[in-house]
């Protein structure tokens, strides 16, 4: 696709067809990516419940890495098409190389954190040695060899920003399939491979990420005419554009970063009841991530479309695309809610749930899935705010949703009721209140498009 064709596609293709053509490949690739996270936990659960708890406790720290990676990606996918829509190709190129420099710096930071921070993080939470040892092994590998995560996300976003959603899907799917294949092989030592246990799950994860990054890089070089990559330009970043990237992506960073902090605090509350409750919450976190992946795929497609048309002044197209996106997410999340409500026990048994875990988890799952429609709407509305230059509103929403209301609801319900069953209502409560705030911001934002 030429540069002109990419611009024409974002600016002239019928809105529904455009959103579908770009979002469906991204939804499929994100779905596959979420599926291997689920599969990873399923295989780890077969080692032991303590191994599953160790991975569950690592999840907030993985979210920290993911939050920064996604935030930089959102900044790139918003700014590159915006400057292309304005006819400023050279500035778009500077955005691309500045983003790569940020990625290099972040990889070095997490390498050092993997060496020095992982051990203290686990030992402050539990004294169960199997959980501590397994968790340190798992998280240290994921953080220290995290460059595939950073650059995979970066190059995939660059493909999507230029209208090559199907190519982005190919790179993500390649890494995910590799992970799913090698998870059981490395965990249990199948064929010529040694039995690595929980370390095998981590090695399969980072190897899949590296493969996805390599595929995405090659596709950008060969197929994406918006990605004029030059190695020497990486270390000559534009500090002003770097600030813009962080400014636009900061709400996403805050969303996932505060979600990480919330998960950590929630785990501390749940550990006061049992380690099994923490494992159940870990399963729910993976299921929520799995459920929202199509919403994230929709957002990956929606942000460059909205940014391009906003930059080009095509506000009517912006409004139509928003309506299509919101309508889809309501229908999808409602259907998923019905499925989880119908078979909660079967879902938990996929994670080798014991009778004790089932006694806690079935009720927990039936309560928590009632938050899915609210959650999906919050995800789409927050991304729309970022794309349309309402980053401050998105930041406020994300702070409320991901931290203050979520962690606060768990703490308040624990203090008031002191019963584990009541704690699970914190999730629909937090998401519902967040949606009220999001709708207020949305009405104000859309009204501004008519000016």
pLDDT attached to residue 4:
44
Q: Is the pLDDT of residue 36 over 90?
A: no
Task: Say which residue, 32 or 65, is predicted with more confidence.
Answer: 65
Q: Is 126 a domain residue? A: yes
Domain containing 232 equals 10-445
Summarize pLDDT for 139-178 with one digit per residue, the tens: 999 999 999 999 998 898 888 778 787 788 788 888 888 9
pLDDT attached to residue 160:
79
Exposed/middle/buried for 43, CB within 10 Å: 0-12, 13-18, 19+? Answer: buried
Task: Say which residue, 190 or 256, is predicted with more confidence.
Answer: 190
pLDDT attached to residue 214:
96
Q: Is the pLDDT of residue 320 over 80?
A: yes
Q: How far apart are CA 260 and CA 67, in angstroms?
A: 9
pLDDT attached to residue 450:
55
**Segment among 113-122, 319-328, 361-370 with least mean pLDDT:** 319-328
Q: Is 2 a domain residue? A: no
Report which of 83, 391, 337, 40 is spatially closest to residue 206, judged by C-alpha positions. Answer: 40
Confidence of residue 8 (pLDDT cuts 50, 70, 90): low
Summarize pLDDT for 180-216 with one digit per residue, the tens: 899 999 999 999 999 999 999 999 999 999 999 999 9
Count up the domains in the chain and report the number. Answer: 1
Summarize pLDDT for 257-291 with one digit per residue, the tens: 777 788 889 999 998 998 899 989 988 988 888 88
Of the chain, the end-to-end C-alpha distance in Å amounts to 34
Q: Is 4 a domain residue? A: no
Q: Is 50 a domain residue? A: yes
Task: Say which residue, 384 or 39, is predicted with more confidence.
Answer: 384
Summarize pLDDT for 412-421 with one digit per residue, the tens: 999 999 999 9
Q: Is 1 a domain residue? A: no
Q: Is 26 a domain residue? A: yes
pLDDT attached to residue 1:
41
Confidence of residue 2 (pLDDT cuts 50, 70, 90): very low
Q: Is the pLDDT of residue 5 over 50?
A: no
């Amino acid at each position: 696709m030429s540069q002109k064709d990419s611009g024409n596609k974002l600016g002239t293709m019928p809105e529904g067809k455009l959103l579908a053509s770009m979002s469906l490949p991204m939804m499929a690739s994100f779905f596959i990516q979420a599926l291997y996270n689920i599969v990873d936990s399923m295989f780890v659960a077969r080692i032991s419940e303590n191994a599953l708890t160790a991975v569950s406790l690592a999840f907030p720290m993985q979210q920290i890495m993911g939050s920064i990676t996604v935030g930089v990606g959102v900044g790139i996918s918003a700014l590159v098409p915006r400057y292309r829509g304005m006819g400023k190709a050279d500035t778009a190129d500077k955005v691309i190389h500045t983003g790569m420099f940020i990625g290099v710096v972040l990889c070095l930071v997490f390498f050092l954190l993997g060496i020095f921070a992982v051990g203290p993080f686990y030992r402050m939470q539990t004294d169960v040695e199997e959980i501590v040892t397994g968790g340190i092994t798992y998280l240290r590998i994921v953080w220290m060899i995290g460059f595939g995560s950073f650059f995979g996300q970066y190059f995939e976003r660059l493909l999507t920003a230029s209208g090559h959603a199907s190519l982005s899907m190919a790179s993500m799917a390649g890494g995910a399939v590799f992970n799913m294949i090698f998870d059981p092989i490395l965990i249990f030592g199948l064929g010529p491979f040694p039995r690595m246990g929980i370390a095998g799950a981590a090695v399969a994860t980072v190897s899949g990420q590296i493969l996805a990054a390599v595929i995405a890089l090659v596709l950008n070089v060969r197929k994406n005419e918006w990605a004029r990559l030059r190695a020497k330009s990486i270390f000559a970043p534009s500090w002003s554009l770097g600030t813009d990237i962080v400014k636009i992506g900061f709400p996403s960073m805050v969303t996932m970063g505060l979600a990480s902090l919330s998960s950590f605090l929630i785990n501390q509350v749940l550990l006061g009841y049992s380690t099994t409750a923490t494992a159940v919450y870990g399963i729910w976190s993976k299921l929520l991530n799995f459920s929202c992946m199509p919403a994230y795929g929709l957002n990956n497609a929606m942000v460059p479309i909205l940014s391009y048309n906003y930059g080009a002044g095509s506000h009517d197209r912006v409004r139509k695309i928003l309506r299509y996106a919101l309508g889809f997410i309501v229908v999808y999340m409602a259907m998923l809610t019905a499925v989880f409500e119908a078979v909660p026990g079967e879902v938990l048994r996929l994670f080798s749930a014991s009778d004790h875990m089932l006694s806690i988890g079935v009720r927990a799952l039936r309560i928590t899935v009632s938050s899915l429609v609210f959650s999906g709407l919050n995800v789409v509305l927050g991304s729309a705010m970022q794309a349309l230059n309402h980053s401050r509103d998105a930041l406020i929403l994300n702070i409320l949703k991901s931290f203050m209301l979520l962690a606060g609801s768990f703490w308040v319900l624990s203090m008031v009721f002191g019963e584990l069953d009541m704690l699970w209502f914190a999730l629909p409560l937090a998401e519902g209140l967040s949606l009220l705030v999001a709708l207020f911001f949305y009405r104000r934002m859309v009204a501004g498009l008519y000016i």
